[in-house]
Amino acid sequence: MRISRFFVILFLVAGVGCKAQSAPANNATEAKLDRQIKLTIRSQYNVPPDYTVTLGQRSKSDINGFDSLPVTFSNGGSQKKVTEFLISKDNNTLARLEKFDLTKNTSAGISILGRPIRGNPNAKITVINFDDLECPFCARMHQEIFPATEAHYGDQVRYVYKDFPLVEIHPWAMHAAVDVNCLAAQNQPGYWTLVDYIHSHGNEITGNDNHQDPAASMKKLDELTRQEGQRDKVNMNKLNACISRQDESAIRASMKEGDALGIDGTPTLFINGERATGAIPQSMLWTIIDRAISDAGGVPPPQTDSNPVKATATTGK
């Protein structure tokens, strides 16, 4: 999983407000209250020890019985966030009210233009997976989706993968993404066959010894891509040129899109806009898909206890 670029607390205090001066405690009672507020905020929101919590001036709020209390979080450097809390008139309750703009749904705007689609292209339910081909958690998630989930929902669901290689920790993930997209440009079914194979043979591509050789892994990926291309009868001159060129621009654009969505690890799925992070179990995945189908006015298929079918792939030896 990719390490988050910001502390969890920065998510909690994302609403930046105006700067405010700290209100000095006029007496021991106020000092005790200020201390209790700070301790409560640190405890409830897991504020890192190196962050300073500063209380601002109380002011009238729109909520009956509560005042507005700006709180500043800073780490002594450039990181500074201000968020508004609510404190009751009797000083017994601290609250956090967040407002969300319902007219903006960032996940609803994820582009799937030109992406290979698995399943019914016209399905009302879309499972979008930001995927890393070298990620073992992604491989596990891939096995949860295919073929059991695909078979269970039939034409009700379509599946789209977006590229989000974790290049900091996975040395051949970017190369793999470029290769499979070279194949996708000419043959989308072949793309899925190759993705199936890579996700089920990651150790083989990485190498089973303790001396990983990224160059050897990339060479193996190129061989697998050419083998699948020959099987699919694509234009091999175009495929070889694409493999040799290793143009990362489309992959980088997908990564940028993922960054804008706040993705910091793989796999990250969006099921008709509902986000699910990590290699969630099949039962949880199906619950989310069922909810999306119902919300779209459809009827989910009945849940079964049958064991998932094992995925198969023919690429390579």
Kindly state whether residues 60 and 138 are assigned to the same domain: no
pLDDT for residue 75: 87
Kindly state whether residues 165 and 276 are assigned to the same domain: yes
pLDDT category of residue 106 using cuts at 50, 70 and 90: confident
Instruction: Determine the length of the chain.
Output: 317
Q: What does the alpha-carbon distance between residue 105 and residue 23 come to, in Å, rounded to a whole number?
A: 38
What is the full DSSP assignment across 58-98?
Answer: -EE-SSTTEEEEEEEEE-SSS-EEEEEEEEETTS--EE---
Kindly state whether residues 48 and 189 are assigned to the same domain: no
Domain-embedded: residue 309? no
Q: How many domains does the chain have?
A: 2
Kindly state whether residues 144 and 227 are assigned to the same domain: yes
Q: Domain holding 153: CATH number?
A: 3.40.30.10
pLDDT for residue 25: 44
Single-letter residue type at 136: P
Kindly state whether residues 90 and 122 are assigned to the same domain: no
Q: Domain holding 52: CATH number?
A: 3.10.450
- Mean pLDDT to the nearest integer, 287-308: 85
Kindly state whether residues 202 and 122 are assigned to the same domain: yes
Domain-embedded: residue 138? yes
Burial class (CB in 10 A: 0-12, 13-18, 19+), 275: middle
List of residues 6+ apart from 74 with CB closer than 8 A: 51, 52, 54, 80, 81
Mean of pLDDT over the chain = 87
Domain-embedded: residue 122? yes
CA atoms within 13 A on the CB side of 102: 0
Summarised one tens digit per residue, pLDDT across range 130-162 is 999 999 999 999 999 999 999 999 999 999 999
pLDDT for residue 258: 96
- Of the three residues 95, 120, 142, the one that is the final residue of a domain is 95
Max alpha carbon distance in the chain (Å)? 82
Kindly state whether residues 149 and 207 are assigned to the same domain: yes
Q: What does the alpha-carbon distance between residue 110 and residue 161 come to, in Å, rounded to a whole number?
A: 11
Give the range of the structural domain holding residue 150, as residue numbers without chain letter.
Answer: 108-295
Determine contact, residues 174/133, Cβ cutoff 8 Å: no
- Mean pLDDT to the nearest integer, 239-261: 97
Kindly state whether residues 234 and 117 are assigned to the same domain: yes
pTM score over 0.75: no
Q: What does the alpha-carbon distance between residue 55 and residue 25 come to, in Å, rounded to a whole number?
A: 10
Kindly state whether residues 199 and 121 are assigned to the same domain: yes
- Of the three residues 46, 69, 95, the one that is the final residue of a domain is 95
**In terms of Cα–Cα distance, which of 188, 185, 182 is closest to 225?**
182
Q: List for the chain the helix, strand, coil content (%; round to 5).
A: 40, 15, 40
Kindly state whether residues 135 and 264 are assigned to the same domain: yes
Determine contact, residues 55/39, Cβ cutoff 8 Å: no
Kindly state whether residues 137 and 179 are assigned to the same domain: yes
- Mean pLDDT to the nearest integer, 176-204: 97
Summarised one tens digit per residue, pLDDT across range 161-182 is 999 999 999 999 999 999 999 9
Domain-embedded: residue 305? no
pLDDT category of residue 107 using cuts at 50, 70 and 90: confident
Kindly state whether residues 45 and 188 are assigned to the same domain: no
**In terms of Cα–Cα distance, which of 56, 53, 51, 52 is closest to 22?**
56
Domain-embedded: residue 139? yes
Domain-embedded: residue 264? yes
Domain-embedded: residue 304? no
SS3 of residue 53 by DSSP: strand
